[in-house]
Amino acid sequence: MNGIAVHGMELHRDATGARMGMWLFLFSELILFGGLFLLYAVYRSSYPEDFHYAASHLDTAVGTINTLILLTSSLTMALAIGVLERGNRRLSSILIALTILLGIVFLVNKFFEWSAKFDHHLYPNSEELLLHTPGENVFYALYYSMTGLHGIHVLVGIGILSFMLYYVARKPRRALTLREGDPSSIIVQDGKGKKIWQHQTGEGVFGVDLTFIYNEHEEVTEGTTIKLENSGLYWHLVDVIWIFLFPLFYLIT
Amino acid sequence: MEKRHSVPLGTYFMIWFGLLVLTGVTVTAAGLHLGKLSIIVAILIATVKGTYVLFYFMNLKYEKRIFKIMFAVALSTFMIILLLTFVDVSFR
């Protein structure tokens, strides 16, 4: 840049406030799932044997694999934020894509797991299940609603992260305004030093303000980091919920 | 912009590794048939794992104190509801 300080439009951002808003939302999620955990706790204490028996039909291996997948997706998510803070847009995009991929694998596993249960006629109100004890019916009702609601959250998380992938991977647009009296020759280069725009007037910018918008490759704005951090908070919360769902449904046989 | 404490990336790998180990422990513990104790062990391990995710992946450890207070209030609210429900259910 030829002797001109570029001041892109810096919006005021309140990172702490943005995160606090996200946490407040997460608390409402805690209460949402909390209600279901409450139901689980009460019914489990009413029908301990039925819960044990019903849980023995769940596939611990699939549950364990899905736990490992979600934990790993939390790692890639945390790393995506970490490298973005350090200015690495490209690696961050790759890590976000990996996180999305792991989320999809989780849901595919979930799909096969549910399908297997449906094949065994174990779904709410099925003729087969109605022959079983009330406790087993409650167990499967909770199993489907809790892992189902959790699955919806994973799906929403994938949606949010897909948007973030686009947002992080694209080149941010910046605006540059030249005012009267600015230097007469302006050369704009891209990241590799190649000249992409040149402006020359004999006497400097004269009479009018010039504004042009350009793409800046490496710059990571604070707005992008905040958005990715908040998406990450959501993704990790979904992970935390699964950390509790996993032992309660798969490991109580 | 205020600079926040940036967590070293290596820490994330260590937390992740710890979480994998704890998953192995909880699956193994479930196979031991500890009877009544097994649910307590399972929830205890899940709590440790959840705390790791909250404190490190979700950065709660490095947040301002107000975030921790807010989290404590939300969690206590849930715990109180849980407790009151059980008091209600057991004395019916």
- The structural domain count of chain A equals 2
Q: Is B22 on the interface with A (CB under 8 A)?
A: no
Same domain, A143 and A243: yes
Report the alpha-carbon distance of residue B87 to residue B92 in Å, rounded.
9
What 3 state SS string does A95-156 have?
HHHHHHHHHHHHHHHHHHHHHHHHHCCCCCCCHHHHCCCHHHHHHHHHHHHHHHHHHHHHHH
pLDDT-derived band at A154 (thresholds 50, 70, 90) equals very high
The residue with greater pLDDT, A22 or A252, is A22
pLDDT at B1: 40
In the predicted model, is pLDDT for residue A8 greater than 50? no
Q: Average pLDDT of chain A?
A: 85
* A95: closest CA of chain B, how far (Å): 13
User: Which domain CATH number covers A36?
Assistant: 1.20.120.80
Residues A197 and A238 in one domain: no
Name the residue with higher pLDDT: A207 or A134: A134
Please give the pLDDT value at position B30.
85
- Which chain B residues have a beta carbon less than 8 Å from that of A251? 26-27, 30, 38, 42
Segment A19-29 shows an average pLDDT of: 96
Same domain, A178 and A190: yes
Q: Residue A8 domain-assigned?
A: no
Tell whether A224 and A208 lie within a shared domain. no
A195: nearest Cα among A13, A27, A21, A2: A2
* Contacting A residues, span 111-140, partner chain B, CB-CB under 8 Å: none
Rounded distance, CA A204 to CA B51, Å? 60
Q: How confident is the model at residue A182 (pLDDT cuts 50, 70, 90)?
A: low
Tell me, yes or no, whether A7 lies in a domain: no
A159 falls in which pLDDT band (50, 70, 90)?
very high
Minimal CA–CA distance to A8: which of A252, A207, A175, A132?
Answer: A175
**Residue A31: pLDDT over 60:** yes
Low-confidence ranges of chain B (pLDDT < 70): 1-5
